[in-house]
């Protein structure tokens, strides 16, 4: 697996300190048990700023007991996908497929997307550094995976994977930049997979979904990050109707639980909450940026759900914060980076402010 830079799977493995692995070769935030092992003397509970999940969750609606006790009807799932289509700007609900989180979609796509080639002859380019599960899934499916740092370099591959906006640096591409790449891929039977997990709180026009269908584009959308309900396990794929039907067949019936359907329908239909949450997160992000100025860290990217900073003190701050029960994300491959999620309560803000004042 050779390419323009270090292998993506190796980069993904390296991007967290030892002991913070969700499984072999996979690094993730939010791993409180691993944090407790690494910082056994830290005060509990931890303030978990290691994820990009909205710290102000959508208020869960009262759910009817029946959604727990019966299998959901096909009409229930169709209702959810119709609401999601409207929320994301898709042209038709036939293009939207609900799933138990986007992670399962990331794992399935290398096995699902139609191809005219053998895995060992098709090339995959992943714009990196980025979410490591994309590389892991394609490597596990037998594809040679290469890390690239530009759309121009990615354009030579048969499958191109990118996050928009990207995790961890918030890099964004306009639809006008992505469309020519997708057109070239379509001509040779290739695919452009765009992970829009953090697009809900970006400026209008960031998402490519309103410009679909396109024969080569598949888009992933996260529910749990935006609505702070990661435990619901709900996500969506948006693609042309033919590709969407292939995924529906692969997933089978009852793929989304009754409670997830009801929560998703309510939350996705609440435009007012989404606008208010975006304004609140913008204020929170600005507050965090101002707070961390005294540490010497410099803001280098991010979204309203996480901020990426750079500085010479990054590694020592990671340990100091962890020892005091505040978890942030470090990157072994980028020792000067720290990624902070947004504090979710006055007490969390107070703990972080006290610690920053003490160590700076």
Question: CB count, 10 Å around CB of 120?
Answer: 9
Contact present, 324 and 42 (Cβ < 8 Å):
yes
Mean pLDDT by 10 residues, the chain (360 residues): 35 34 47 85 93 96 92 96 98 98 96 68 90 94 93 92 97 96 94 97 93 97 97 97 95 96 97 97 98 96 98 94 95 92 97 93
Residues in the chain: 360
> Residue 271: how many CB atoms within 10 A of its CB?
10
Q: Is the dihedral of CA 145, 151, 153, 155 positive or negative?
A: positive
**Residue of 299, 5, 48 whose CA lies nearest to 168:** 299
In whole angstroms, what is the distance from residue 258 CA to residue 66 CA?
8
List phi, psi (to 5°) of 13.
-65, -35
Report d(CA 79, CA 264) in Å as an integer: 10
pLDDT tens for each residue of 51-60: 999 999 999 8
What CATH fold (topology level) applies to the domain 8-56+272-359? 3.90.1150
Contact of 127 with 149, CB cutoff 8 Å:
yes
Domain range 66-271, CATH class:
alpha beta
Q: How far apart are CA 345 and CA 322, in angstroms?
A: 18
* Per-residue model confidence (pLDDT) at position 115: 65
Q: Left if phi > 0, otherwise alpha if psi is -120 to 50, otherwise beta: which for 310?
A: beta
DSSP 13-69: HHTS-TT-EEETTEE-S--HHHHHHHSTTS-SS-EE-SS-S-SS---PPPPPTHHHH
Domain spans of the chain, in order of start: 8-56+272-359, 66-271
Beta bridge partner(s), residue 309: 299, 338
Q: What is the DSSP string of 153-211?
A: HHTTSSEEEEESS-TTT-----HHHHHHHHHHHHHTT-EEEEE-TT-TTSPTT--SGGG
Asked if 8-56+272-359 and 66-271 have one fold, the answer is no
- Do the strands 47-48 and 326-327 form a parallel or antiparallel pair, or are they unpaired? parallel
Query: Do 155 and 173 touch, CB atoms closer than 8 A?
Result: no
Distance CA 185, CA 234 (A): 29
Residues 6+ apart with CB under 8 A from 340: 49, 288, 292, 306, 307, 309, 328, 329
Helices (H), 200-345: 224-227, 241-251, 258-268, 271-291, 314-323
Q: Note the Cα 247 to chain centre separation in Å.
A: 20
> Pairing state of beta strands 235-238 and 191-195?
unpaired
Q: What is the DSSP letter of 3?
A: -
The pTM for the full model equals: 0.90
Q: What is the pLDDT of residue 119?
A: 57
């Amino acid at each position: 697996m050779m390419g323009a830079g270090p292998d993506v799977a190796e980069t993904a493995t390296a991007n967290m300190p030892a002991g913070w692995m969700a499984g072999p070769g996979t690094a993730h935030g939010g791993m409180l048990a691993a944090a407790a092992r690494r910082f056994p003397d830290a005060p509990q509970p931890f303030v978990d700023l290691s994820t990009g999940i909205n710290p102000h969750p959508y208020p869960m609606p009262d759910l009817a007991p029946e959604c727990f006790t019966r299998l959901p009807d096909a009409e229930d799932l169709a209702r959810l996908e119709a609401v999601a289509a409207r929320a994301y700007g898709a042209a038709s609900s036939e293009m939207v497929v609900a799933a138990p989180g986007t992670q399962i979609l990331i794992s399935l796509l290398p096995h699902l997307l139609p191809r005219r080639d053998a895995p060992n002859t098709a090339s995959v380019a992943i714009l990196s550094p980025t979410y490591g599960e994309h590389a892991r899934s394609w490597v596990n499916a037998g594809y040679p995976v290469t890390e690239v740092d530009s759309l121009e370099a990615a354009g030579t591959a048969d499958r191109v994977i990118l996050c928009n906006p990207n995790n961890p640096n918030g890099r964004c591409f306009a639809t006008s930049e992505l469309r020519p790449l997708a057109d070239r891929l379509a001509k040779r039977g290739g695919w452009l997979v765009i992970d829009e997990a953090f697009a809900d709180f970006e400026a209008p026009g960031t998402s490519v979904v309103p410009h679909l269908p396109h024969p080569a584009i598949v888009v992933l959308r996260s529910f749990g990050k935006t609505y702070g309900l990661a435990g619901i396990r709900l996500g969506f794929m948006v693609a042309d109707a033919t590709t969407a039907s292939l995924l529906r067949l692969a997933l089978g019936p009852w793929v989304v639980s009754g409670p997830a359907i009801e929560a998703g329908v309510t939350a996705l239909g609440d435009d007012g909450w989404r606008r208010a949450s975006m304004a609140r997160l913008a204020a929170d992000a600005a507050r965090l940026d101002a707070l961390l100025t005294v540490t010497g860290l410099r803001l280098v990217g991010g979204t309203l759900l996480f901020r990426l900073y750079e500085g010479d003190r990054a590694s020592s701050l990671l340990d100091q914060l962890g020892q005091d029960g505040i978890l942030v994300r470090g990157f072994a491959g980028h020792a000067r980076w720290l990624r902070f999620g947004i504090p979710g309560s006055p007490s969390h803000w107070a703990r972080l402010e006290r610690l920053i004042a003490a160590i700076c």
